[in-house]
Amino acid sequence: MATVTLKGNPVHTVGELPKIGSVLGDLKVTKGDLSDVSLSSFAGKTMILNIFPSIDTGVCSQSVRRFNQEATSVPGAIVVCVSMDLPFALNRFCGAEGIKNAVTASVFRHPEFGQKLGMRIIDGGMAGLLARSIVVLDADGKVKYTQLVPEIAQEPDYAAALNAAR
């Protein structure tokens, strides 16, 4: 179990982020067209998982915008923005914002995603959502970098994630 804060109040996650060098396995997410896809379908690419509680909060939406802008700076990488939001909300946001360089994915059908990665929040007002975190996978699916953002209301370390993906 890890502890993060939400506006200074402690909240806990179900576990710890995966260790560097570990392999996540074949986790599934739901795309905007409601089809399910395995993370293994992105094999051969470096993957930046931008994981957050909800697209309808300022910091979460900013992280999607920022990674969308920065995604092209890492050749051969893909940014997958993951939350419990319904695909409809993610599509609405991406359409309004012109998000084209990042893939959005929902885990509303796949709660094992947050469980396996250790970032499902288990208490407080956001219980059941995903804690703000970054996981970078190499082209073989091995974990290269992780960050569990200590304060949910703060943005992740974009530079560190992008550097790990290079």
| pLDDT at site 164 | 96
What is the tens place of the pLDDT at every residue in 109-129?
999 999 999 999 999 999 999
Q: What is the mean pLDDT of residues 74-78?
A: 92
Task: Give the sign of the dihedral formed by CA 72, CA 92, CA 130, CA 82.
Answer: negative
Supply the Cα-derived Rg of the chain in whole angstroms: 14
Residue 156, exposed/middle/buried by CB under 10 A (0-12, 13-18, 19+)? buried
Catalytic residue among 48, 49, 51, 60: 60
Total number of domains constituting the chain: 1
Taking the chain, what is the end-to-end CA distance rounded to the nearest angstrom?
30
Q: What is the mean pLDDT of residues 61-84?
A: 92
**Domain interval for residue 30:** 3-165
Question: Can you read off the two tokens belonging to residue 1?
Answer: 């179990």
Q: What is the mean pLDDT of residues 80-89?
A: 96
| pLDDT at site 143 | 97
DSSP 18: P
Q: What's the CATH number where 25 sits?
A: 3.40.30.10
60 is annotated as an active-site residue: yes
Total-model pTM: 0.95
Residue 10 CB contacts under 8 Å (≥ 6 apart), including other chains: 3, 4
What is the tens place of the pLDDT at every residue in 11-42?
999 999 999 999 988 899 999 999 999 999 99
